[in-house]
Amino acid sequence: MQKPRSTNSLETPRFCGIPTFMRLPHTRDLDGVDAAIIGLPFDTGSPYRVGCRFGPREIRNISVLLRPINPYHDIDVFEHLSVIDYGDARIVPGDTLRSFEVMEEDLRPVVSAGIKPLCFGGDNSVSLSQIRELGRHHGKISLIHLDAHTDTWDDYLGLKHMSGSAYRRGVEEGWIDSATSIQVGMRGSLFSREDIQQSVKLGYKLIHTDEMLEIGMVETARRIKERVGDNKVFISIDMDVVDPAYAPGVQIPECGGPTAHNILTLLRNLGGVNVVGAEVMELNHLYDSGEITALLAATFGAELLALMALNKRG
């Protein structure tokens, strides 16, 4: 089968046509597909700035700027990886549990066919749906979680499924192998001194923003790879891991973070990690400026596809 290609922007202007991620074909035909772009436009798990429901749409819109060749790995991504834009999973605004059910139904045919989902959020509450589906298909997975926050709180306003709880639930439900998982980028003020310790108690290893900036991105990537080894890995990026100067359009910004270049360098040094799924979450376009956060989210998505293409090339 001919691999799907992006519409060539040297032949058709970028502003023409319906914007899919990186101008890839929009289809639900999964025959021969290696990776599928899926939007998760759910944001009623957000305790603060609501609006991440527009994330997938805005990421697709600006992603027409991206090109198929990743020069950092010297790879034509779509030569090795057959990628489609699957569209959005169904959600039910305001009903988190019902949303989980229908999202998981929509993710299941993709994941159970061995296809790698690359999901765009949406707030981090719905990460649990992906973790569940990946876990059901692959068994326990390792997590690389880039975020200013641990998202391991037990409850929020008495609710068990909010944007700050998915990575606790994922361990409790048995999908995440915390002993081979790592959370990177934590910073900022805390509700209690337990906020960080709660992740350690769940079994996670943490690299805080200050430590990451001190040791540098190459060494941070090395420690991440050492932690996850050859295991099947789910990479989760919350856009708030980046400093608000580079990523203002998020739900819960935290000052004093890494630059856009820092996190791109980190991702580009994760070649060889066995990625079975990935997500870019928490883009809140309503607070963005000049689409800089959306462009960065789309670029993170392209880098994640490059990592999957490297896996395929071997």
Closest by CA position to 247, among listed 162, 238, 15: 238
Query: Which of residues 186 and 308 has its CB atom nearest to Mn ion in the complex?
Result: 186
Whichever of 209 and 269 has its CB closer to Mn ion, that residue is 209
Q: Name the minimum Å distance from CB 269 to Mn ion.
A: 22
* Residue 146 β-bridge partners: 184, 237
The residue number with the shortest CB distance to Mn ion is 149
Q: How far is the CB of 29 from Mn ion (least distance, A)?
A: 35
Backbone angles phi, psi at 305, to 5 degrees: -65, -35
Q: Which is nearer to Mn ion, 58 or 240 (CB)?
A: 240
What is the secondary structure of 201-214 as a DSSP string? HHT-EEEEHHHHHH
Q: How far is the CB of 149 from Mn ion (least distance, A)?
A: 4
Minimum gap (Å) between residue 254 Cβ and Mn ion: 7
Q: Give 149 or 227: the residue with its C-beta nearer to Mn ion.
A: 149
Nearer to Mn ion by C-beta: 132 or 149? 149
Which residues form the interface with Mn ion (CB under 5 A)? 147-149, 238, 240
What backbone torsions phi and psi does residue 236 show, to the nearest 5 degrees?
-115, 125
Listed in sequence order, the residues at least 6 apart from 282 whose beta carbon sits closer than 8 Å to its beta carbon are: 52, 55, 121, 122, 123, 124, 163, 238, 239, 240, 250, 251, 252
Shortest distance, position 282 Cβ to Mn ion, whole Å: 6
Is the Cα dihedral 224, 227, 232, 236 positive or negative? negative
As a whole number of angstroms, the distance between CA 97 and CA 109 comes to 20
